[in-house]
């Protein structure tokens, strides 16, 4: 498997790499923390792009720049749901009390908003609606308006479902890697089990996606895990 630099695929991917760096710095207090956040989130997006290419190729879909760009953009909103180290100006905290360079931690209560936050960020930065949709519509196996209401989710009650083949592939690819610390790849069995916990509607959407695009074979996951020096869960 070739490991070309996906961030140099197009002008858009290069701009996305810079946006990742900017967001990492915007939501951390120091360069060390920014580097750790960038390594966690941008590397996850890169891995999802590689998995998306695998799924597209094996299902007979064309590997487009849009697919790669969407994968690299999909989690851009997660920097904004990090537990920020920035100190409020009205709070007196000595610099030596700040946990310099700590591992990135996400705010669980608002984490589900990372898709819509990423969507709004991409639009505000001048990226196309079609690209911003990758951020908006990738969470879980998609979220329906009914689920927003029934589960009282902190989201505007709308459907957050993939609208194109590329969006579906990126959503599916995303389920085979985690942004946990340390990051890990997810086996096919574990990925399905994680979706199954959220009920029959979610597993039905999962099964429909898998029927269309398949799943990464174990050897491909193992090769990627070895390349990135990560474990498989």
Helix/strand/coil for 13: helix
Output the pLDDT for position 103.
Answer: 83
- Give me the DSSP letters along 116-171: HHHHHHHHHTT--HHHHHHHHT-SBTBB-HHHHHHTT-SS-SS-B---SHHHHHHH
Average pLDDT on 30-53 reads: 97
Output the pLDDT for position 101.
Answer: 59
**1 part of a folded domain:** no
Helix/strand/coil for 106: strand
- Give me the DSSP letters along 36-73: HHHHHHHHHHHHHHHHHHHHHHHTT----HHHHHHHHH
Alpha-carbon distance values, 128 to 70, 132, 167 (Å): 11, 6, 14
**43 part of a folded domain:** yes
**47 part of a folded domain:** yes
Output the pLDDT for position 42.
Answer: 98
Q: Model pTM greater than 0.85?
A: yes
Which residue, among 172, 104, 168, has the nearest Cα to 133 in the 3D structure? 168
pLDDT tens-digit series, residues 175-215 = 999 999 999 999 999 999 999 999 999 999 999 999 999 99
Q: What CATH number is attached to the domain comprising 150?
A: 1.10.3210
For the record, the structure tokens of 106 come out as 């996400």
Number of domains in the chain: 1
**171 part of a folded domain:** yes
pLDDT tens-digit series, residues 83-119 = 875 434 334 444 433 445 568 899 999 999 999 999 9
- What are the φ/ψ torsions at residue 152 (nearest 5 degrees)? 50, 50
**188 part of a folded domain:** yes
- Which residues span the domain enclosing 99? 6-232
In a 10 Å sphere around its CB, with 0-12 CB exposed, 13-18 middle and 19+ buried, how is residue 57 labelled?
exposed
**13 part of a folded domain:** yes
pLDDT tens-digit series, residues 126-164 = 999 999 999 999 999 999 999 999 999 999 999 999 999
């Amino acid at each position: 498997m070739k490991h070309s630099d996906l961030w140099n695929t197009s002008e858009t991917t290069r701009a996305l790499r810079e946006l990742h760096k900017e967001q990492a710095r915007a939501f951390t207090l120091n360069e060390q923390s920014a580097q750790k956040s960038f390594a966690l989130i941008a590397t996850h997006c890169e891995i999802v792009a590689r998995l998306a290419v695998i799924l597209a190729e094996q299902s007979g879909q064309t590997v487009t720049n849009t697919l790669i760009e969407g994968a690299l953009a999909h989690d851009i909103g997660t920097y904004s749901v990090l537990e920020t180290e920035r100190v409020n100006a009205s709070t007196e905290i000595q610099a030596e009390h700040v946990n310099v360079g700590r591992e990135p931690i996400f705010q669980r209560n608002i984490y589900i908003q990372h898709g819509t936050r990423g969507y709004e960020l991409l639009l505000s930065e001048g990226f196309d609606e079609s690209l911003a949709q990758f951020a908006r519509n990738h969470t879980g196996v998609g979220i329906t308006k009914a689920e927003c209401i029934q589960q009282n989710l902190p989201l505007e009650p709308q459907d957050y479902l993939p609208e194109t083949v590329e969006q579906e592939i990126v959503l599916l690819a995303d389920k085979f890697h985690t942004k946990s610390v340390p990051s890990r790849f997810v086996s096919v069995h574990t990925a399905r089990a994680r979706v199954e916990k959220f009920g029959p509607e979610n597993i039905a959407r999962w099964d429909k996606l898998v029927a269309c695009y398949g799943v990464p074979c174990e050897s491909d996951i193992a090769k990627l895990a070895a390349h990135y020096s990560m474990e498989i869960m």
